[in-house]
């Protein structure tokens, strides 16, 4: 099975973290359904061209968060997460990032109007980049 995850060795973010964020997003947005079987550690490591240690950490972290479930000798599955929990999760990550961005703006004395303008500019840029 092919997991649509992009990682960058040149990013400041650690590998394991890049993978966790994207895998979590795939699950919480419903692109990986509950009960779905994930690739084995070795297989995913090969797909992403990284170390098995890194993937092992990812699976373990997400299992600790209750998002994955590992059954010995069988594999790793998407756990049952309640719909409301799922919704909260989804928006929480975004909300946190938004607040971070807004705080950055406030530190350099942006007004609310400026912040909104910057939000729109950022959205525009991201959407443009998507098409290309």
Q: Contact positions toward a second copy, by CB under 8 A?
A: 9-10, 14, 21-22, 25-26, 28-31, 64, 69, 71-72, 90-91, 93-95, 97-110, 112, 115-116, 118-119, 121-123, 125-127, 130
Question: Whose Cβ is closer to a second copy: residue 29's or residue 46's?
Answer: 29
Give the sign of the dihedral formed by CA 69, CA 37, CA 53, CA 85: negative
Q: Which stretch binds DNA (CB under 7 A): 26-34, 70-78, 101-109, 119-127?
A: 70-78
| Interface positions, 27-66, toward DNA (CB under 7 A) | 38, 40-43, 50-54, 56, 59-60
Alpha-carbon distances of 113 from 40, 59, 96, 102, 121, rounded to whole Å: 48, 42, 20, 12, 12
Q: What per-residue string of b and e applies to 54-63 under the rule 16 or more CB within 10 Å gives b?
A: bbebbbebbe
Question: Whose Cβ is closer to a second copy: residue 32's or residue 44's?
Answer: 32
What are residue 66's phi and psi, to 5 degrees? 85, 15
Contact partner, 40, from DNA, a second copy, none, Cβ < 5-8 Å per class: DNA
- CB-CB contact of 47 with 4 (8 Å): no
Q: Which stretch binds DNA (CB under 7 A): 13-21, 90-98, 108-116, 122-130?
A: 13-21
Question: Whose Cβ is closer to DNA: residue 42's or residue 120's?
Answer: 42
As given in the structure block, the two tokens for residue 63 are: 């299992």
Contact partner, 10, from DNA, a second copy, none, Cβ < 5-8 Å per class: a second copy
Hey, which residues does 47 pair with through a beta bridge?
none
């Amino acid at each position: 099975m092919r997991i649509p995850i992009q990682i960058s060795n040149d990013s400041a973010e650690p590998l394991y973290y890049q993978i966790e964020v994207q895998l979590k997003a795939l699950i919480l947005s419903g692109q990986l359904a509950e009960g779905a079987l994930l690739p084995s550690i070795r297989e995913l490591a090969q797909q992403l061209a990284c170390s098995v240690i890194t993937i092992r950490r990812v699976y373990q972290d997400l299992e600790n968060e209750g998002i994955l479930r590992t059954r010995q000798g069988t594999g790793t599955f998407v756990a049952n997460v309640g719909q409301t929990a799922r919704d909260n999760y989804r928006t929480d990550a975004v909300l946190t990032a938004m607040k971070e961005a807004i705080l950055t703006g406030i530190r350099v004395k942006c007004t609310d109007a400026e912040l909104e303008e910057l939000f729109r500019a950022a959205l525009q840029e991201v959407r443009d980049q998507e098409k290309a």
